[in-house]
Amino acid sequence: MTPESYDKTRAAHDEGWVHKWLGRALLAVMAAEWVLLLYAGRWLSAFLVTMIIAALVAPAVFRRKLDVDIPVEFHIAAVLFMTASLYLGEVRSFYQKFWWWDILLHTSAGLLMGVAGFLLVYLLNERREAGLHMRPGFVALFAFSFAVTIGTLWEIFEFAMDRTMGLTMQKPMLGDLSGLTDTMWDMIVNAAGAFFVSLVGWRYMMRKDIFFVRDLIRRFIRRNPVLFRAGGGRGGV
């Protein structure tokens, strides 16, 4: 084994160890919180915590039932985002305590959904059996549209919950009790995050510059050969 191969193996081992214990610790905290919320009769908060628990155990389910290995980085990012938005934001009222919390999370959502959209269409582009060869501009446009669509659907969900359940998911700002300003800023920062990821992804595909999800794409293809003929698509990653 070469020193370079040894370093990569050691890094993967450390990454797996951190992921495993971080997941276990967070799962224990969420399970305890879930019991306390049920005892207090806070049903909606208990449901939100249930969603986080489901996200924590999702990789194991995907691995056993579908033989799909989700990248560690993507799982950690998704779980941390759900914890920050659903648990800290809604259950622990960070949205009310910190005015910038909602803006921060919607910007992060745009980045994450942009990456998810890029990965989705890029990996489809890599499958030989799909018979597709999409241009970089289309891949970037799809990633941007995917993230903006998810952000818009979330705003519709917030509006529906406020109207039907009497919640305050739309956070009224000073001088705007309707929540319209909050909704618009959420959509703006979500689109900004999505645009940034799409632009970086497009630049990577055009010039093969450094892209922060390149290694993630490579690792996903390598660990899920069943999704790709002969273990890889066109070799363009």
pLDDT, tens only, 159-189: 887 888 776 777 766 556 566 888 888 899 9
Nearest CA to 121 out of 111, 129, 132, 110 is that of 132
- 130 pLDDT band, cuts 50/70/90, is low
pLDDT at 19 over 60: yes
Last residue of a domain, one of 92, 117, 150: 92
Higher pLDDT, 184 or 211: 184
Tokens of 52: 């986080």
**How confident is the model over 78-96, as a mean pLDDT?**
87
Tokens of 220: 């996903």
Whether the CB-CB separation of 143 and 121 falls below 8 Å is answered with: yes
Same domain as 236, residue 164: yes
What is the pTM (predicted TM-score) of this model?
0.73
Instruction: Indicate the number of domains in the chain.
Output: 2
Its domain, for residue 110, covers 99-237
Same domain as 78, residue 113: no
Find the largest Cα–Cα distance for the chain: 65
Last residue of a domain, one of 61, 92, 123: 92
Nearest CA to 136 out of 53, 204, 216 is that of 204
Whether the CB-CB separation of 200 and 98 falls below 8 Å is answered with: no
Same domain as 137, residue 27: no
